[in-house]
């Protein structure tokens, strides 16, 4: 034993039975005997190791020092877990071999004087030892091929192991041996002798396993396939009954259900393979539960179940009109869909994307569409979803695998043709777990979704009958391949008139009902609704409007209960006592014509706004100064406008010396608010030209449009909201780009009937309409 370092220790001793342990090996065993529990507690209390040795007779409950082997293993306790009764499940790791010198005490637990043998010069291998090591590894590889329970990864790790002592102990731990045979190997300290003994055992076990395989093969050939199948099935059923698994649905029932389903042949074959696999494994196997869960889910899917659509256009129109005010384009699209379905029942489901600011009713109209078409309604929110498996499910190789949210929702609604709302599709995220937006490509492509494959399902499912509706606040964050598969319907913000109608017809009634009141209890005047819209909310939708109406009704409810006063009348005189001072005051047109000051129009996420551009000309060096927290695009518009004026100075009667000897300062008030976009181009140019020529601008004129350095006026977006802002500010004339004329024609004439709209293609046409002659 010259290759070992000897160290004497006093350690708690636990005799184990029926199992063997070796250094560098993890072992689970249960402790229930009082002495063993005390030894464990002592080891944990002192934070010391414990000595494990095997009992000679496993049936003995109260062993003495003569009933266990002298040679054992010094172990580190890694984990303790209390299980049923007083039993403790222990996880221990073998460290070194040890030998009992004498037993110090046997009460309340065994404590022994141990010699611990730790390896020294462990990596120094002579030629003789290397040869026996290689022979042993080769024999182990042959054993692994016959045994089949040992994985290729295990064999590979053994092959690459350098340390001879660790290698011999590791190989021993993988062989199915009796405890006394394992003890014999444990007691061989010399690695050369241990390899020799181990090689002999491996060769013998390999030979026995090969003979067993030959016998089994001969028996299998003698028994007919029918007899074998019948015998095994009866055996499995008997075992299942004995173990209490007889209440499971048997495989024949699964096969009967499969035959009734009208599904493609390849899908039936795939499901039958899973049933055959279930046939071959024990009911107590974890895989059996996984397969049964999968089969139950697959058979519950609505492969052929669909709801009968309401194709009555008149009825659908009434429902949509009753539920929502405005949103005419969406309603028209749904009626078109119903008309086509009447003419062509086999038409595939469509994918509609409703895009608009928050609070305009995108989500709620999807529910109304389902009601109008008499379909089931399913909604999932995609906001913040960053895991691809949320959409397409997990593969069943993973523990706890579940189907994706699309297939799971279809399964729950029990039909294969619902209205399916994918809410907030613009807020999908992506990270190392995949890109959910890419996973949606197949589901949202009418040409592909008839064969949508969920990873958990592992077979194709037809989604072509589903009517997908997606919602988004903006299309800028939706990947272009995904956006290309959808029909985008823009829902702009509501006009003040639309908000007024929504509040009067829907919101007040809804809030009264929610708060347990009626119109007999509270009276809210029309003036109050307009006050709330103009001075207490600033939004494209109606969420803030509804909140303020709810606040008024709740405060009124308190007054009714406290003062027993009915009805409560809300008017323009007492609204501030319910909602406080007005929060928003809209800019209004100036009372007099101005020089160097022009009213522009801007689009924001909560609607249109007026934007005043001020210009001063002062002595300087011909520089352009920009203030008001302008963005890069807006700054470039100002530079382009001044460039045009300099190039055409003679045309407008501006002396070139004036441009060289003066600075131009452009300022947009409310400097704390960032401003950007090209639509203020003509506004800035007109203001600069007014200041340089000392010409007045009409007080009731507003404008919007992009400018080029050649003086052309280019189109802009958000025109409806901008025109509403102009109307609200008391503007009478609005100058817009000629190319925006189709956008104006789409707007309801009631909205802009008081506005004189001038169309311009060049800056000269803008000046003609804006400058006071």
Would you please indicate which residues are annotated as catalytic (active-site) residues?
A: 679, 722
Burial label for 113, CB within 10 Å (0-12, 13-18, 19+), is middle
Determine the Cα–Cα distance for residues 284 and 482; give it in Å rounded to an integer.
45
Pairing of strands 701-703, 733-737: parallel
Alpha-carbon distances of 766 from 35, 246, 313, rounded to whole Å: 101, 87, 47
**Closest Cα partner for 492 from 690, 748, 193?**
748
Determine the Cα–Cα distance for residues 515 and 468; give it in Å rounded to an integer.
35
**Closest Cα partner for 308 from 369, 375, 368?**
375
**Closest Cα partner for 673 from 733, 737, 628?**
628
Q: Which residues pair with 467 in a beta bridge?
A: 419
DSSP-based three-state secondary structure for 623: coil
**Closest Cα partner for 355 from 442, 437, 425?**
425
Q: What are 54's two structure tokens?
A: 């095997």
Pairing of strands 351-355, 487-490: parallel
Longest Cα separation, the chain:
123
**How would DSSP label each residue in 630-647?**
B-HHHHHHHHHHHHHHHH
**Closest Cα partner for 419 from 489, 370, 461, 463?**
370
Q: Which residues pair with 481 in a beta bridge?
A: none
Determine the Cα–Cα distance for residues 683 and 634; give it in Å rounded to an integer.
11
Determine the Cα–Cα distance for residues 390 and 384; give it in Å rounded to an integer.
11
Percent helix, strand, coil in the chain, to 5, is 45, 20, 35
Determine the Cα–Cα distance for residues 765 and 329; give it in Å rounded to an integer.
34
**Closest Cα partner for 686 from 674, 673, 701, 669?**
701
Determine the Cα–Cα distance for residues 605 and 227; give it in Å rounded to an integer.
76
**Closest Cα partner for 32 from 96, 86, 101?**
86
Cα radius of gyration rounded to whole Å, the chain: 42
Q: What are 514's two structure tokens?
A: 């929610």
Neighbour-count burial for 381-392, b at 16+ CB within 10 Å, e otherwise: ebeebebbbbbb
Burial label for 140, CB within 10 Å (0-12, 13-18, 19+), is buried
**Closest Cα partner for 156 from 170, 169, 146?**
170
Task: Give yes or no for a cis peptide into 108 (omega within 30° of 0).
Answer: yes
For residue 370, give every residue at least 6 positions away whose Cβ sits within 8 Å of its Cβ, in sequence order, or none. Answer: 376, 377, 418, 419
Note whether 286 and 272 are within 8 A (CB).
no
Determine the Cα–Cα distance for residues 121 and 123; give it in Å rounded to an integer.
6
Task: Give yes or no for a cis peptide into 30 (omega within 30° of 0).
Answer: no
DSSP-based three-state secondary structure for 226: helix
Determine the Cα–Cα distance for residues 701 and 598; give it in Å rounded to an integer.
8
Beginning with the edge strand found earlier in the chain, give each strand of the sheet holding 756-760 in spatial order. 624-627, 662-667, 607-619, 597-604, 701-703, 733-737, 756-760
């Amino acid at each position: 034993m010259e290759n070992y370092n000897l160290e004497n220790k006093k350690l708690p001793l636990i005799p184990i039975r029926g199992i063997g342990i070796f250094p560098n090996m993890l072992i689970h065993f249960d402790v229930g005997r009082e002495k063993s529990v005390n030894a464990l507690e002592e080891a944990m209390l002192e934070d010391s190791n414990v000595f494990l040795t095997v009992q000679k007779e496993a049936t003995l409950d109260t062993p003495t020092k003569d009933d266990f082997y002298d040679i054992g293993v010094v172990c580190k306790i890694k984990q303790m877990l209390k299980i049923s009764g007083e039993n403790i499940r222990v996880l221990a790791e073998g460290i070194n071999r040890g030998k009992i010198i004498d037993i110090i005490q046997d009460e309340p637990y065994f404590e022994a004087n141990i010699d611990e043998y730790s390896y020294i010069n462990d990596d120094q291998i002579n030629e003789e030892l290397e040869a026996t090591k290689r022979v042993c590894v080769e024999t182990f590889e042959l054993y692994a091929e016959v045994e089949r329970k040992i994985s290729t990864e295990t064999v590979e790790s053994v092959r690459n192991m350098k340390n001879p002592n660790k290698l011999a102990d590791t190989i021993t731990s993988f062989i199915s041996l009796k405890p006394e045979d394992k003890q014999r190997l444990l007691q061989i300290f010399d690695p050369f002798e241990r390899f020799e003994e181990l090689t002999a055992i491996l060769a013998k076990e390999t030979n026995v396993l090969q003979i067993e395989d030959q016998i089994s093969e001969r028996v299998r050939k003698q028994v007919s396939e029918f007899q074998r199948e019948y015998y095994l099935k009866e055996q499995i059923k008997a075992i299942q009954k004995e173990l209490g698994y007889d209440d499971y649905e048997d495989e024949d029932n699964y096969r009967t259900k499969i035959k009734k389903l009208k599904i493609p042949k390849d899908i039936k074959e795939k499901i039958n393979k899973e049933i055959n696999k279930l046939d071959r494994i024990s009911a107590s196997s974890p895989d059996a539960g996984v397969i049964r869960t999968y089969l139950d889910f697959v058979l519950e899917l609505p492969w052929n179940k669909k709801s009968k659509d309401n194709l009555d256009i008149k009825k659908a129109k009434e429902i949509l009109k009753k539920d929502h005010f405005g949103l005419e384009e969406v309603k028209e699209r749904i009626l078109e869909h119903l008309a086509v379905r009447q003419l062509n029942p086999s038409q595939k489901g469509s994918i509609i994307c409703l895009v608009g600011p928050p609070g305009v009713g995108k989500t709620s109209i999807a529910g109304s569409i389902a009601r109008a078409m008499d379909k089931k309604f399913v909604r999932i929110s995609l906001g913040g979803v960053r895991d691809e498996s949320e959409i397409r499910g997990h593969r069943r190789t993973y523990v706890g695998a579940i189907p994706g949210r699309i297939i799971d929702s279809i399964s729950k609604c029990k039909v294969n043709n619902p209205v399916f709302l994918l809410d907030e599709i613009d807020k999908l995220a992506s990270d190392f777990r995949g890109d959910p937006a890419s996973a949606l490509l197949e589901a949202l492509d009418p040409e592909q979704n008839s064969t949508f494959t969920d990873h958990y399902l592992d077979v194709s499912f037809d989604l072509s009958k589903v009517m997908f509706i997606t919602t988004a606040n903006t299309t800028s964050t939706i990947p272009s391949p995904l956006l290309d598969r959808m029909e985008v319907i823009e829902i702009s913000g509501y006009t003040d008139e639309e908000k007024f109608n929504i509040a009067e017809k829907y919101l007040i009634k809804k809030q009264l009902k929610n708060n347990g009141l009626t119109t007999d209890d509270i009276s809210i005047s029309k003036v109050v609704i307009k006050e709330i819209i103009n001075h207490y909310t600033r939004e494209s939708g109606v969420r803030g409007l509804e909140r303020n109406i709810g606040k008024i009704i709740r405060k009124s409810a308190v007054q009714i209960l406290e003062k027993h006063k009915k009805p409560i009348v809300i008017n323009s005189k007492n609204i501030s006592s319910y909602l406080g001072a007005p929060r928003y005051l809209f800019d209004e047109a100036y009372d007099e014509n101005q020089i160097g000051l022009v009213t522009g129009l801007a689009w924001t996420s909560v609607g249109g706004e007026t934007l005043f551009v001020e210009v001063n000309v002062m002595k300087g060096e011909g520089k352009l100064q920009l203030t008001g927290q302008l963005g890069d695009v807006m700054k470039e518009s100002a530079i382009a406008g001044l460039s045009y004026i300099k190039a055409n100075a003679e045309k407008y009667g501006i002396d070139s010396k004036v441009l060289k000897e003066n600075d131009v300062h452009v300022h947009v008030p409310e400097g704390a608010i960032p401003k950007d976009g090209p639509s203020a181009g003509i506004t800035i140019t007109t203001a600069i030209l007014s200041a340089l020529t000392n010409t007045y601008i009409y007080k009731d004129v507003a404008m919007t449009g992009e400018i080029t350095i050649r003086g052309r006026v280019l189109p802009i977006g958000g025109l409806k909201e901008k025109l509403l802002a102009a109307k609200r500010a008391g503007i009478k004339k609005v100058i817009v780009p000629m190319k925006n004329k189709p956008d104006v024609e789409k707007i309801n004439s009631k909205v802009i009937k008081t506005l004189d709209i001038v169309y311009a293609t060049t800056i000269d046409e803008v000046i003609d309409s804006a400058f006071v002659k």
